[in-house]
Chains A and B, each alone.
Chain A
């Protein structure tokens, strides 16, 4: 008991009994005549100060009430063990998938309920740190034993549209756990987290998994290519169905807000549907894709893309003849393609310089010049070493290793069905990095900067692979072209992921610019024309304006995150394995105190009600009359004459 001194109140019990034994102050009750009563009453103890204690339900109930109230005042409790340790880091996942709506309710609400329960299970004197985690960690309450403050902080949490990343939250939890060995990390999440830190933390990790549904379809990709000549736009859309059942959704495309295409797509479970829509008007500037209707997650049901302008870059293809490359490059609307055999490369370069029409990009197919061009370049199947690296032995039948999910060069590129017959073993020079590797770590696709010029390498010949026969090829070439020749308006990239900050390099005379995002305007301060736009928090078009109000750049912010669109709750062990198991018995035996004064108080209230009903006679009589009247009214309608009472002496 927390307050055992309150048990002194039990002394009230004999006092109550004494009151019953004392001669009571009787209530005056008027009667017409005591003529009959006097024949009944033989109260021989009427004049004694004490009377014999008689059994009385009223006395019993009052003694019970007094005992229960005293017991409740002593605050009894039971000691239980809590699986939580004294220091709890509570991480609440607020990534986009947590914005799903499950049949049981909004997933974020379920998560907050679970978080409240964790706070309720804290051991006596336990402390909690509440962290909301989307792409980064946000500490809401730090190391407090104030459960009300923790619960209030949990109530303030809301789901975001950002991709999830527990790296920051785990780093923070690791730091907190390092300060206190008696720590537990609790993650409230659907366990569907794409990115986890590579290093575990030195405390047990428990996952409170929430969510049940997987019914979601998403726009997985949206881009617009301008065909050669720039007169026609091709819109590439991919709609994925990560759920376990086939789904039919209506895809609508809007150009500058006007519906230009709508079609129903049936997507098998776990598959995605890709299509190219060639019907966009050439003068359109923004295209928006929507999935009509609703599913569990609304964030990925719409996407935006900016339509590139029609300016073209002179591109020289140095090849003995490669129809795949020619076609792929010719399809890229930003390139104006010229081709030359390797023998004519030097002359073509000289002619262009003389004509003051230099090439902006050179693509070498199976040929490496002695001196790298002073422009961005792509090397396909380099036969010899160059500035990009040293070419070594040939690799036969290389298997493609897993690729980084956020690699911008592989955006929308699905290499899972690509096979490569052989490739050159290339040791990359400094400044180059591998984008696609063999399982042995040899680069297949690499990119980087050589002498300040963007450079890309494909270490295999296209004819030795089925890549040119797949949709991935033009997309890869498009991405490489975007890397080598930054697209867009030159101020902002045409597309960015949610939460991805964008560096600005503007006119040094500009002191600040304003960012229009989802109806709100934010001022961005610049230093020597440089600054950073914080990552977008919602899907949509963002606009950058100079101080005069003129638009100087635009970008589209989209989710495009397969991990977030796959809203089905995942296996939590992947997260739990990040922590160490509970060491020793201490973690399972952390004492927690459960007070149970409130059921006692409820019992006292119930007894009080019973006493009132049983012993407050006017109330009982009124209730009885009401009951009789109701019964009589229901049986006979109450229209007949009153029925006289039957009297024993009326015979």
Chain B
């Protein structure tokens, strides 16, 4: 297994050693018990080989005779199989919106989302969870699947640090693409600015995977508190199209009000589907995000 100091030496300074060590102390919250394929550190809905008793069922041909409860047979003369809670791994899905609208802001939203995604995925690896990361953009999802164990960390970081800035829009199509190919349940974290007409469809598709959806809504400071001059043409970073605005003293105020309403709509939509919604400014310190904001929102524990 690759140690934190080695990582710090081999990789670009995405995270320093102290930061990686703190990551290991966190654990992704899993509100649902989900079925996994390999033994892990989380409770599974499958009955398995652990020492924690779960239930009895009738014996059927082919069952493992070692699971028979001979004490019950002695008293009742019926064959029962003892069922135990089996601890299995889950799959952590980390999705990063790589559309051009994300490639904006100071600090850059996409860069922030990469770092946050890397940190969250590393958390999964550190706890022996299966991790799947994907970039959403250009109408499809390009993913790196079935990473397990900290030994895959370099592979994870290589994937996340690859240049993805040329991707166009199509958040809904990309989310649908990922949901269709999704394997393994577990927490699903979406890092996006949701600046796409199909953002509700995308959220609906991802929530429909029965994964525990967490929407990390990343916005740049310029988007949260804009200072647009009285007479300006706003150039869309994604489409290159301009929108003209004319001198209006409360234009910026109206924008902020509309932004608030929009965030509330998204929050309500996600809540109704059992998910969590967290709005994050891209100038937020990553440590604050992981150790404070996401903890309070119980996305990580």
Query: Which residue numbers of A lie inside 8 Å of B, CB to CB?
Result: 24, 26-41, 43, 45-46, 51, 54, 56, 58, 617, 621, 641-642, 644-645, 647-651
Q: Report the nearest A residue to B280, measured CB to CB.
A: A644
CA distance A30 to B227 in the complex (A): 12
* A35:B231 contact, CB within 8 angstroms: no
Among the listed A28, A35, A650, which residue makes an inter-chain contact with B242, where contact means beta carbons less than 8 Å apart?
A: A28
B60 within 8 A of A: no
Among the listed B235, B254, B265, which residue makes an inter-chain contact with A29, where contact means beta carbons less than 8 Å apart?
A: B235
CA distance A647 to B117 in the complex (A): 21
Among the listed B101, B233, B277, which residue makes an inter-chain contact with A650, where contact means beta carbons less than 8 Å apart?
A: B277
Instruction: Take A32-B223, A33-B195, A38-B243 as given contacts and tell me if A650 and B238 are in contact as well, using a CB distance cutoff of 8 Å.
Output: no
* A642:B285 contact, CB within 8 angstroms: yes
**Additional A-B contacts beyond A644-B284, A650-B263 (18; CB < 8 A):** A26-B231, A26-B232, A27-B232, A29-B228, A30-B234, A30-B235, A31-B223, A33-B104, A33-B193, A35-B101, A36-B255, A37-B255, A40-B254, A641-B291, A642-B285, A647-B224, A649-B264, A650-B267
* B243:A32 contact, CB within 8 angstroms: no
Instruction: Take A32-B195, A644-B284, A649-B263 as given contacts and tell me if A46 and B244 are in contact as well, using a CB distance cutoff of 8 Å.
Output: yes
Among the listed A33, A45, A54, which residue makes an inter-chain contact with B236, where contact means beta carbons less than 8 Å apart?
A: A33
* B255:A56 contact, CB within 8 angstroms: no
* B241:A34 contact, CB within 8 angstroms: yes
* B244:A617 contact, CB within 8 angstroms: no
* A41:B245 contact, CB within 8 angstroms: yes
Q: Report the nearest B residue to A648, measured CB to CB.
A: B260
Give the residues in chain B near A26, CB-CB below 8 Å: 231-233, 244-245
B68 within 8 A of A: no
* A32:B234 contact, CB within 8 angstroms: no
Instruction: Take A31-B104, A645-B224, A648-B264 as given contacts and tell me if A40 and B251 are in contact as well, using a CB distance cutoff of 8 Å.
Output: yes
| Interface size of B as a range | 35 or more
CA distance A28 to B236 in the complex (A): 10
Among the listed B230, B234, B251, B281, which residue makes an inter-chain contact with A644, where contact means beta carbons less than 8 Å apart?
A: B281
* A644:B292 contact, CB within 8 angstroms: yes
The distance from the CB of B70 to the nearest CB of chain A, in whole angstroms, is 55
Give the residues in chain A near B258, CB-CB below 8 Å: 36, 39-40
* B277:A33 contact, CB within 8 angstroms: no
Give the residues in chain B near A28, CB-CB below 8 Å: 232-233, 235, 242
* B233:A36 contact, CB within 8 angstroms: no
The distance from the CB of B99 to the nearest CB of chain A, in whole angstroms, is 9
* A30:B232 contact, CB within 8 angstroms: no
CA distance A51 to B227 in the complex (A): 23
Pairs of residues from A and B, 6 with the lowest C-beta to C-beta distance, nearest first: A649-B263, A648-B260, A32-B104, A33-B195, A647-B279, A33-B101
B69 within 8 A of A: no
Give the residues in chain A near B102, CB-CB below 8 Å: 32
CA distance A34 to B235 in the complex (A): 7
A-B pairs with beta carbons under 8 Å apart, 14 shown: A26-B244, A29-B235, A33-B193, A35-B195, A36-B255, A36-B258, A43-B245, A58-B230, A641-B288, A641-B291, A645-B281, A647-B224, A648-B264, A650-B267
CA distance A645 to B109 in the complex (A): 15
B293 within 8 A of A: yes
Give the residues in chain A near B58, CB-CB below 8 Å: none
Instruction: Take A37-B255, A40-B255, A46-B246 as given contacts and tell me if A651 and B264 are in contact as well, using a CB distance cutoff of 8 Å.
Output: yes
Q: Report the nearest A residue to B243, measured CB to CB.
A: A34
* B246:A45 contact, CB within 8 angstroms: yes
CA distance A644 to B216 in the complex (A): 14
Give the residues in chain A near B230, CB-CB below 8 Å: 56, 58
The distance from the CB of A619 to the nearest CB of chain B, in whole angstroms, is 11
Give the residues in chain B near A51, CB-CB below 8 Å: 246
B229 within 8 A of A: yes
* A34:B277 contact, CB within 8 angstroms: no
The distance from the CB of A335 to the nearest CB of chain B, in whole angstroms, is 104
B262 within 8 A of A: yes
Instruction: Take A36-B262, A43-B245 as given contacts and tell me if A649 and B279 are in contact as well, using a CB distance cutoff of 8 Å.
Output: yes
* B284:A30 contact, CB within 8 angstroms: no
Give the residues in chain B near A32, CB-CB below 8 Å: 101-102, 104-105, 109, 193, 195, 220, 222-223, 237-238
* B246:A43 contact, CB within 8 angstroms: yes
* B284:A642 contact, CB within 8 angstroms: yes
CA distance A354 to B282 in the complex (A): 131
* B263:A29 contact, CB within 8 angstroms: no
* A27:B233 contact, CB within 8 angstroms: yes
Q: Report the nearest A residue to B293, measured CB to CB.
A: A644
* B235:A31 contact, CB within 8 angstroms: yes
CA distance A641 to B288 in the complex (A): 7
CA distance A46 to B247 in the complex (A): 12
Among the listed B195, B231, B239, B264, which residue makes an inter-chain contact with A24, where contact means beta carbons less than 8 Å apart?
A: B231
B278 within 8 A of A: yes
B196 within 8 A of A: yes
* A649:B104 contact, CB within 8 angstroms: no
The distance from the CB of B134 to the nearest CB of chain A, in whole angstroms, is 21
The distance from the CB of A620 to the nearest CB of chain B, in whole angstroms, is 8
Instruction: Take A45-B246, A617-B229 as given contacts and tell me if A648 and B237 are in contact as well, using a CB distance cutoff of 8 Å.
Output: no
Q: Report the nearest A residue to B229, measured CB to CB.
A: A27
CA distance A648 to B259 in the complex (A): 8
Give the residues in chain A near B267, CB-CB below 8 Å: 649-651
Instruction: Take A36-B259, A644-B280, A648-B264 as given contacts and tell me if A31 and B234 are in contact as well, using a CB distance cutoff of 8 Å.
Output: yes
Taking CB atoms and an 8 Å cut-off, the chain B residues in 47-73 that contact chain A are none
Give the residues in chain B near A43, CB-CB below 8 Å: 244-246
The distance from the CB of A337 to the nearest CB of chain B, in whole angstroms, is 109
B287 within 8 A of A: yes
The distance from the CB of B104 to the nearest CB of chain A, in whole angstroms, is 4
The distance from the CB of B181 to the nearest CB of chain A, in whole angstroms, is 27
Give the residues in chain A near B262, CB-CB below 8 Å: 36, 649
Taking CB atoms and an 8 Å cut-off, the chain B residues in 185-228 that contact chain A are 193, 195-197, 217, 220, 222-224, 226-228
The distance from the CB of B270 to the nearest CB of chain A, in whole angstroms, is 10
CA distance A645 to B293 in the complex (A): 10
Residue in A28, A29, A30, A642 with the greatest tally of chain B CB atoms within 10 Å: A29
B266 within 8 A of A: yes
The distance from the CB of A65 to the nearest CB of chain B, in whole angstroms, is 18
CA distance A433 to B188 in the complex (A): 129
CA distance A27 to B237 in the complex (A): 15
Give the residues in chain A near B226, CB-CB below 8 Å: 31
The distance from the CB of B170 to the nearest CB of chain A, in whole angstroms, is 13
Give the residues in chain B near A46, CB-CB below 8 Å: 244, 246
Give the residues in chain B near A617, CB-CB below 8 Å: 227, 229
The distance from the CB of B216 to the nearest CB of chain A, in whole angstroms, is 11
The distance from the CB of A15 to the nearest CB of chain B, in whole angstroms, is 18
CA distance A384 to B40 in the complex (A): 154
CA distance A218 to B260 in the complex (A): 88
Q: Report the nearest A residue to B99, measured CB to CB.
A: A33
Q: Report the nearest B residue to A38, measured CB to CB.
A: B243
* B246:A37 contact, CB within 8 angstroms: no
The distance from the CB of A31 to the nearest CB of chain B, in whole angstroms, is 5
Among the listed B217, B241, B289, which residue makes an inter-chain contact with A649, where contact means beta carbons less than 8 Å apart?
A: B217
Among the listed B227, B247, B263, which residue makes an inter-chain contact with A621, where contact means beta carbons less than 8 Å apart?
A: B227
CA distance A36 to B243 in the complex (A): 11
The distance from the CB of B236 to the nearest CB of chain A, in whole angstroms, is 4
Q: Report the nearest B residue to A618, measured CB to CB.
A: B227
Give the residues in chain A near B255, CB-CB below 8 Å: 36-37, 40
CA distance A29 to B244 in the complex (A): 10
* B237:A31 contact, CB within 8 angstroms: yes
Give the residues in chain A near B224, CB-CB below 8 Å: 645, 647
CA distance A645 to B283 in the complex (A): 10
